[in-house]
Amino acid sequence: MAARRQWDNIWSLLFSLLCLCEWSVAQISYSIFEEVDKGAAVGNLAKDLNLSVQQLQSAGLHITYGYKKPYFDINLESGVLYVSERIDREELCPNTVKCSLNIEAILSNPRSLHRIEVVINDINDNAPSFQEDISTIDMYESSYVGERHPLPIAHDPDVGANSVKTYKLNANDYFSLDIQSTGDQSVSAELVLQKALDREKQAVIELTLTAIDGGKSPKTGTLQIQVNVLDVNDNSPVFSKSLYKVQVIENANIGTPLLTLTASDLDDGINGQVVYTFTERGRLNPDDKFSLNNNTGEITVRGNIDYEENQAFEIRVQARDRGTPPRSAHGKVLVEVIDVNDNAPEISVSSIMSSVKEDAEIGTAVAMVTITDQDGGKNGLTNCKITGSVPFKLKSNYKNYYSLLVDGLLDRETVSRYDIYIVATDEGTPSLSSTTVITIHVSDVNDNPPKFPNSPITLYVKENSPIGTTIHKLTTTDLDLNENAKSMYHLISSSPKTTQMASMVTSFNYEELKDFQFKVQATDSGVPPLSSNVTVNILILDENDNNPTILAPYSQHGSVNSESIPYSAEAGYFVAKIRAVDADSGYNALLSYHLSEPKGNNLFRIGTSTGEIRTKRRMSDNDLKTHPLVVLVSDNGEPSLSATVSIDVVVVESTAEIQTQFRHVPVKEDSFSDLNLYLLIAIVSVSVIFLLSLITLIAVRCHRTDGTFSRYSAPMITTHPDGSWSYSKATQQYDVCFSSDTLKSDVVVFPGPFPPVDAELISINGGDTFTRTQTLPNKEKVGHLYLSCKTSSCNHKIIASAISCVVGVDIHTHSAPLVEHQLGTSTPSLIPCPQDFQTV
């Protein structure tokens, strides 16, 4: 038993694997006798399948069946199909002429399915038997010679030649047998009176009826018959027909009349009154299905008539008179049942796969479908099809056996489950059908790569961020499932710069690196793995981590610088200009200058944005001869960083005593060589190219923003207490410092983010303090243009002309009231660009 269970487990596993393959079906038929010994050979299955003994193991041959007992098994060493359980035909196929067992032989290599029919032949293992041990027959002494009396029918479970074939009566003086055969399965006998009876000689006649089957070793069964000889009524009823035939539709309503029996009796009175009754014959009791009116002889339907249970009924009827003793006649009624289509087809599904891969090939077998219909004839013919649009089809294998196959491309990401509706329809009228649903789950394969939600990805990182700071968490989506959807990420080196960034162990420095990019590859865990790439752009954000640096000729680091001014200097006299730069950018590099003097001394002021130190008033006798000044240069970062420089301003009596580093530069009076000429030409060329580029750039920017000027306000020129001019528009602004003194003149353009015209701007008040009244947004690019007169040779007309020349603005048109207020004169006329300004 343990070996049997182990074999069953192996079969179940192999059968499940074979469900993945296509099936081909063939038909093999064997026949054996019932009750053969266990181990008896049924047939050489390997030979019939064209397999050698050596191929049996590799072919994976095994059988399956749908019965409770494993009646057959296969010898894998010889390929012989043999009997493994006792086979009793009468137990398997009662009341049927043909008995067969259907099994299936399955090969895994090559993949095929073979339907095997084993016909069970009957042997004569059952003797005939009667339902009663003794049968009593009453006969009148006036019975005529030749009178017949039907005898009970013997039953033999065997069929064919082994069933009851004849009857034999023991030797006697009065009776003989008349054996009647209506077919192979129906043999009856009637008792025929051969000699007139004489009750006074013998009132009871004992007879023995022997039933004999047709086996090679015939078996017999006996019945004791007791004939009672009666004296009276000498005429028996006679039926109008010896055999009545009638048809009835199955499922006929109860009470439906079939026919009326007619029997006549020549006797008069009570001896001529006929009573009709059924006589039980064999195992069929007519009273279960039909009703007989004893007086009229009408037969009606009494029970459910089912064609699938009985296709015909043979009813024995009797007509008996009321005489004493009564005399009777016997007849037969053959009721043929006409089939109606009252059974819908039945659908059974086997060998179904739990799931099918989405890359399964067309033609892959998914399940086996069998259609059965209990109706007969045309009502039992069926058709099978799939409803709806699904990538599957039915393939007919043999008769009502079908294979469910893949018939299209599967995509789990689109449809992960299919409910396949199979409809079976018979050919009856009206047609009946049945539907079953087969659920097929589509399993995932790795056919979708990971996808990034955005490409490229732009990230902003502050410089000096600690190592290990999370910048961004990359995410991907993968339409696959489980391992096929799990992604791993790694960097792809696309350039030496990217490789350098990938290996950095320090934080970013905006002053060294402002941006870089690299690629990230996401790879899923499927087999084979799929991947996708995304470009990541890293933009470094500046932080205020650099102090301002004082430029030459002044220096910081605690040293003291010296400048001289004449005692006769007027208010606004130019003392010195502090220049500083900041390695940061934006607001972090926007510098402001502040001046610190000794208490009680209020002689000097400094431009907060220009760094120019000037006198506030004339000198007095009470002023010191040496004024120590400390200039604080601060940026606008958060927190603000600063640098300081110390300058001692010495008051001298005359301008002749003023010495600067520029005036003491020695002049070499060498002859003007060819080399100097070439150098001068080169310098002039570079200067001209630079100036043209600068003018072109300013003109382009003015042209681009020209359409937006009208939306806000007219250009404005604003003056500052230090003598500089500011030209501004709503979307751009320039600060330009200009002086005819070429030793101290410069042009500086400060592009930076400033608010729109309706917001608060950086203002310079009369006290030269730098105040920022609002956090400056970075939505629009703005600049300032400052022009300052350092000496008396610079006038306001030159400044106005310079502004018009540089930025292309007609001051006469847009700024007349402001310029007139500033100059205290009428609106100036425009003049050509000053030569010294053009060459700055």
Q: How far apart are CA 836 and CA 726, in angstroms?
A: 20
pLDDT in tens, 16-26: 444 333 333 44
Q: How far apart are CA 564 and CA 567, in angstroms?
A: 10
Sign of CA dihedral 396, 386, 18, 82: negative
pLDDT confidence of residue 229: 86
Give pairs for 218-223: CB < 8 Å, separation 24+: 218/124, 219/124, 219/126, 219/127, 219/128, 219/156, 220/127, 220/128, 221/127, 221/128, 221/129, 221/130, 221/154, 221/156, 222/130, 223/130, 223/132, 223/133, 223/134, 223/135, 223/151, 223/152, 223/154
Residue 598 has pLDDT above 80, yes or no: no
Tokens of 244: 């009545």
Residue 819 has pLDDT above 90, yes or no: no
Q: How far apart are CA 464 and CA 513, in angstroms?
A: 12
- Report yes or no: 726 and 718 within 8 Å, Cβ to Cβ: yes
pLDDT in tens, 318-372: 999 988 888 889 999 999 998 888 889 999 998 788 789 988 999 999 999 999 9
pLDDT confidence of residue 67: 79
Tokens of 423: 């409809």
pLDDT confidence of residue 63: 81
Q: pLDDT above 70 covers what percent of the chain?
A: 75
Closest CA to 100 of 117, 115, 83, 81: 117
* DSSP label at residue 468: T
Site of tokens 């084993």: 118
Q: How far apart are CA 489 and CA 408, in angstroms?
A: 35
Tokens of 208: 């023995």
Q: How many helices (H) and strands (E) does the chain have?
A: 11, 52
Which backbone phi and psi does 529 adopt, to 5 degrees? -75, 150
Alpha helices per DSSP H over 705-787 = 706-712
pLDDT confidence of residue 394: 93
Q: How far apart are CA 450 and CA 488, in angstroms?
A: 10
Tokens of 402: 């079908």
pLDDT confidence of residue 184: 58
DSSP conformation letters of 542-559: P-S----EEPTT---TT-
Tokens of 304: 């459910």
What Å distances lie between residue 32 and 11, 41, 102, 116, 163, CA to CA? Answer: 25, 9, 13, 13, 18
pLDDT in tens, 417-441: 999 999 999 988 889 999 999 999 9
- Report yes or no: 22 and 403 within 8 Å, Cβ to Cβ: yes
Residues in the chain: 840
Q: Could you tell me the pTM of the whole model?
A: 0.42
3-class secondary structure, 657? helix
* DSSP label at residue 284: B
Q: How far apart are CA 838 and CA 745, in angstroms?
A: 12
pLDDT confidence of residue 779: 36
- List 25's β-bridge partners, or say none: 113
